[in-house]
Amino acid sequence: MDANEPSSYEEAVVSDAGTWLQAMRSKMDSIHQNQTWELVELPTGRKSLTWKWVFRYKYVFYSEKPKYKARLVAKGFKQEHEVDFDDIFLLVVKMTTLRLLLGVVATEDLELKQLDVKTTFLHKDLEEDIYMSQPAGFMAMGEEGHHVCKLKKNLYMA
């Protein structure tokens, strides 16, 4: 992590706020366009996950200025074993698989291209009922304390 990257939402709105807020708005726009969640009342007996913003500078070779990136993640590690622990599974690549792929590319003298997708995990529909509290600064007007986000599609998990 870069020493100048905020470690929380509160830090981001204080340090270089305009740029980090713009990055958060961009991510929230993607989340809303993909209909990642709907606001609902939390069902009785259910818990909602909390959230965290992750901030990073992304350096690109053609620019001296970094891009400001913000990612909203659900704190899946707060789940409890035998209560809601098995509710979430995210398909992510293992490092051994990536090494194998790169080894085949190198051995066979193939060409490999990289693609950066802004909302990679946000396209998969969820089968489970997973709830998350609304992110600060982006709460629906009039629904601040009453509704939670029922995830309809995957969201990054921490």
pLDDT of residue 63: 76
Q: What pTM was estimated for this model as a whole?
A: 0.67
pLDDT at residue 8 is higher than 70: yes
- For residue 59, report the phi and psi dihedrals to the nearest 5 degrees: -95, 135
pLDDT of residue 123: 59
Check residues 19 and 4 and name the one with the higher pLDDT.
19
74 with 51: CB under 8 angstroms? yes
3-state secondary structure of 148: strand
pLDDT of residue 107: 95
133 with 149: CB under 8 angstroms? yes
Least confident of 20-29, 54-63, 110-119, 131-140: 110-119
> What's the whole-number mean pLDDT along residues 125-148?
81
Average of per-residue pLDDT values in the chain: 79
pLDDT of residue 22: 92
Over residues 14-71, the pLDDT tens digits come to 877 678 999 999 999 988 888 889 999 999 888 888 888 989 888 877 777 888 889 8
- Distance from the first to the final alpha carbon of the chain: 15
pLDDT of residue 93: 63
> Residue 89's pLDDT band (boundaries 50, 70, 90)?
very low
Token pair, residue 55, equals 């901030």
Token pair, residue 84, equals 């809601």
Angle at 149 between CA 145 and CA 155, to 5 degrees: 140
Region label for 142, one of left (φ > 0), alpha (ψ between -120 and 50) or beta (otherwise): left
pLDDT of residue 3: 61
The CA-atom distances, in angstroms, between 139 and each of 48, 94, 143, 149, 154 are 15, 35, 7, 10, 19
Task: State percent of the chain over pLDDT 70.
Answer: 76
